[in-house]
């Protein structure tokens, strides 16, 4: 029996170049020691719990888009799939649709959701906004905030910037979120190890000012993060950039554009994310590699808009995640890992209408776990990547911290 050799050229791998040694990441973190005395830190290559390397595996799950009576079961499903870090957005419009009337009840209770993260042994990242996107109306801004921006006039001070009037609107939101997080932070023995400030935003001074506002409100965490794609300017210190890639997107793009996510390289940004940003930095930051390569939006699925119906092959989603690991990613982060349903609004339906018309209720995302908790093929495929290679007993530091 003959064995047919492939006719394509051989793939050459150069192993002669030495890996640069790890350096201290310029994070300027908050309190990194837990109430139990366990330190959480990162350098340019790795994350550590205590003195042991740790790979955070993050999965996005929006509590306000899922029935609170079923949160525990779904969090346990995520944990069984290898997730150890839950990421969730705080959509401003979900909590203060009417100005001055905050709603943190039922499915909207961030605090109760984080308590269950703690009880099920999961860490948490809270994405504060004030602007989030997440296919929500106004990117998460309540209509009254959006109207305020309109009243400032064409060419006047904008939302999402160092405009004192806008920042004055954000302060009460951060104070309310801080109350929800009271006792839930890593330093207090809670699950929250990180927050994200705004989303897909280019403006180091603005983001660092939001960080200061959050810290002054009492949100003191080991890691403060930002989305770092599409050539956005990353501050020299103080914020950890997070990255991502999708197999396809409802926002458009050619197949050639998405193929970059399947190529092994040192590139952290596939160049397609961040379509909501207006000010693109002209060149990549040379200091990017001083931070660990962490992701928050590797897409195991994708939403369909009314303009573009997207079908994601589970094998493609798993392949992209594996390629990211091969590119040096030391924090896989999936958006979305668990789908859901948009909550009821008091004044409007809450789905995104501009620039992309989205379904009013559906946010299934055709991902690992669906809007009704369905287990999809990519759940199992990714779980194979998440399985630990060494099943020996962890050290005391790791046991206390994970």
- Residue 364 within a domain: yes
- Residue 4 within a domain: no
- Residue 399 within a domain: no
Average pLDDT score over residue span 346-370:
96
Strands 47-49 and 52-54: antiparallel
* pLDDT tens by residue, 29-84: 899 999 999 999 999 999 999 989 999 999 999 999 999 999 999 999 999 999 99
Domain of 276 in residue numbering reads as: 40-385
For the whole model, what pTM was predicted?
0.91
Task: Return the percentage of the chain with pLDDT > 70, whole number.
Answer: 89
* Better-predicted residue by pLDDT, 1 or 252: 252
Q: What's the pLDDT score for residue 146?
A: 93
Beta-carbon contacts of residue 302 (< 8 Å; ≥ 6 apart): 246, 247, 248, 249, 250, 310, 312, 365, 366
**Does residue 166 carry a pLDDT above 50?**
yes
- Total of domains in the chain: 1
pLDDT-based confidence at residue 3 (cuts at 50, 70, 90): very low
- Residue 10 within a domain: no
Q: Give me the CATH number covering residue 202.
A: 3.20.20.80
C-alpha dist (Å) from residue 15 to 12, 19, 105, 115, 326: 10, 10, 55, 46, 14
* pLDDT tens by residue, 257-269: 788 889 888 878 7
Residue 128 contacts residue 214 (beta carbons within 8 Å): yes
pLDDT-based confidence at residue 338 (cuts at 50, 70, 90): very high
- Residue 250 within a domain: yes
- Residue 160 within a domain: yes
Nearest to 328 by CA among 301, 289, 299, 297: 289
Q: Which two tokens stand for residue 281?
A: 């930095």
- Residue 79 within a domain: yes
- Residue 157 within a domain: yes
Nearest-Å Rg of the Cα atoms of the chain is 21
């Amino acid at each position: 029996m003959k064995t047919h050799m492939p006719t394509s050229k051989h793939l050459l791998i150069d192993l002669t170049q030495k890996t640069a040694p790890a350096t201290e990441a310029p994070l300027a973190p908050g309190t990194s020691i837990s109430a139990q005395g366990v330190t959480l830190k990162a350098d340019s290559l790795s994350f550590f719990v205590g003195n042991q390397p740790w790979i955070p595996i993050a999965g996005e799950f929006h509590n306000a888009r899922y029935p609170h009576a079923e949160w525990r079961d779904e969090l346990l499903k995520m944990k069984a799939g290898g997730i150890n870090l839950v990421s969730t957005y705080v959509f401003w419009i979900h909590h203060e649709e009417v100005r001055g009337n905050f709603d943190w009840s039922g499915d909207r209770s961030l605090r109760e959701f984080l308590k269950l993260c703690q009880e099920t042994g999961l860490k948490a990242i809270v994405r504060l906004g004030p602007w989030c996107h997440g296919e929500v109306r106004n990117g998460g801004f309540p209509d009254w905030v959006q109207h305020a921006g309109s009243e400032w006039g064409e060419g006047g001070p904008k939302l999402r910037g160092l405009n004192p009037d806008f920042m004055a609107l954000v302060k009460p939101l951060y104070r309310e979120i801080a109350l929800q997080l009271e006792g839930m932070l890593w330093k207090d023995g809670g699950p929250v190890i990180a927050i994200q400030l705004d989303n897909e935003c280019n403006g180091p001074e603005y983001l660092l000012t939001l960080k200061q506002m959050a810290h002054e409100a009492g949100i003191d965490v080991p890691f403060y993060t930002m989305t770092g794609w599409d050539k956005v300017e990353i501050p020299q210190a103080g914020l950890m950039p997070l990255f991502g890639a999708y197999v396809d997107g409802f926002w458009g793009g050619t197949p050639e554009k998405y193929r970059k996510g399947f190529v092994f390289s040192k590139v952290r940004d596939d160049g397609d994310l961040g379509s909501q940003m207006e000010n693109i930095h002209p060149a990549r930051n040379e200091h990017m590699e001083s931070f660990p390569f962490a992701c928050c939006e590797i897409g195991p699925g994708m939403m369909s808009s009314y303009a573009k119906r997207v079908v994601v092959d589970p094998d493609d989603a798993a392949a992209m995640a594996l390629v990211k690991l091969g590119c040096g990613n030391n924090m896989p982060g999936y958006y979305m890992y668990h789908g859901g349903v948009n909550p009821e609004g008091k004044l409007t339906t809450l789905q995104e209408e501009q620039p992309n018309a989205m379904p009013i209720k559906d946010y299934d995302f055709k991902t690992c776990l669906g809007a009704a908790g369905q287990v999809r093929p990519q759940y199992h495929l990714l779980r194979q990547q998440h399985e630990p290679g060494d099943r020996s007993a962890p050290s005391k530091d790791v046991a206390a911290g994970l």
